Amino acid sequence: MYSKTRLAKWYMQFDDDEKQKLIEEVHAVVTVRDAKHTNFVEFRNFKIIYRRYAGLYFCICVDVTDNNLAYLEGIHNFVEVLNEYFHNVCELDLVFNFYKVYTVVDEMFLAGEIRETSQTKVLKQLLMLQSLE
């Protein structure tokens, strides 16, 4: 299967080779699961919470004691913001505007924690930034 990582964000130190290995492993464990499966999968000493939107997987790797459903909805909240920001987001938007997606991530998640959850507030901030030169 052909697959590409559109964006990866790291909150722990890894070297480039390790990052590549992790990406491949995550891909391997997540893409084999079907829709009837849970949105959670154990991964090394952590767990991955993921959600699939069309052909695109959004995955987040957290401590095993973290709240599964909170992160699952954290992903959806993020996707709704992207959708609003890019007016019906599609994968290509993420490719061409990768540098903006990083900004969206930082507005909503920082240091591996949830920073802001209000879609209104995030979008207002993003539009303000958009208006700057």
Q: Which residues bind another protein (CB under 8 A)?
A: 11-13, 20, 33, 36-42, 44-46, 63, 67-70, 72-74, 76-77, 86, 90, 92-93, 95-99, 102-103, 106, 110-121, 125, 128-130, 132-133
Q: How far apart are CA 118 and CA 107, in angstroms?
A: 10
Task: Dig out the tokens for 96 from the structure.
Answer: 């061409």
Q: How many CB atoms are closer than 10 A to CB 29?
A: 15
CB of 64 to another protein, least distance (A): 9
- Closer residue to another protein (CB): 39 or 58: 39
The whole-angstrom separation of Cα 4 and Cα 27 is 9
- Dist. CA 84–CA 130, nearest whole Å: 14
Q: Is the CB of residue 48 less than 8 Å from the CB of residue 41? A: yes
Rounded to a whole number of angstroms, the minimum distance from the CB of residue 94 to another protein is 9
Minimal distance in Å, beta carbon 82 to another protein? Answer: 13
CB-nearer residue toward another protein: 54 or 128: 128
